[in-house]
Amino acid sequence: MIELSRERPVYLQIAEWLENEILRGNIVAGGRVPSQADIAEIFDINPMTAGKGVAVLETRGVIEKRRRGCGIYVMPDAKERIYEYRKNAALTDAVDALLIDASVLGLSVDDLCELLKKRGGKRS
């Protein structure tokens, strides 16, 4: 169970909760995802908010609605898609922060590329 915070939109917290349930194996590939009404009841939220959280995962290809009224199911490659999305999101955040810091320091993208090449060569 999660405790919803005001720091992030509730629907994104719902999407993350569902992802974590899939990663933990509590909802398996091919398994049925709780309905929007069930999620709304679990977290005492509006069903539309729960639906937005579900829609996020549907957009990412983690879950699918087979037919209206027949439920929502986890895709076979859901775990891989979740890991890939989270990896890309983390890298994007890191690069964005690096670009902001570089801009403040007066470094160009070319300067950053040169530094990255130097640092990359020092890896073992």
Q: How far apart are CA 85 and CA 77, in angstroms?
A: 12
Q: Is residue 5 part of a domain?
A: no
Determine the pLDDT at residue 123: 60
Q: How far apart are CA 81 and CA 118, in angstroms?
A: 32
**DSSP designation for 60:** T
The structural domain count of the chain equals: 2
69/101 same-domain check: no
pTM equals 0.77
Determine the pLDDT at residue 1: 57
pLDDT per residue, tens digit, the chain (124 aa), is 567 778 899 999 999 999 999 999 999 999 999 999 999 999 999 999 999 999 999 999 999 987 777 899 999 999 999 999 999 999 999 999 999 999 999 999 999 899 889 988 766 5
Sequence length of the chain is 124
93/67 same-domain check: no
Determine the pLDDT at residue 65: 85
Domain of residue 113: give its range: 79-121
Determine the pLDDT at residue 124: 53
22/65 same-domain check: yes
* Of residues 88, 67, 61, 71, the one with CA closest to residue 32: 71
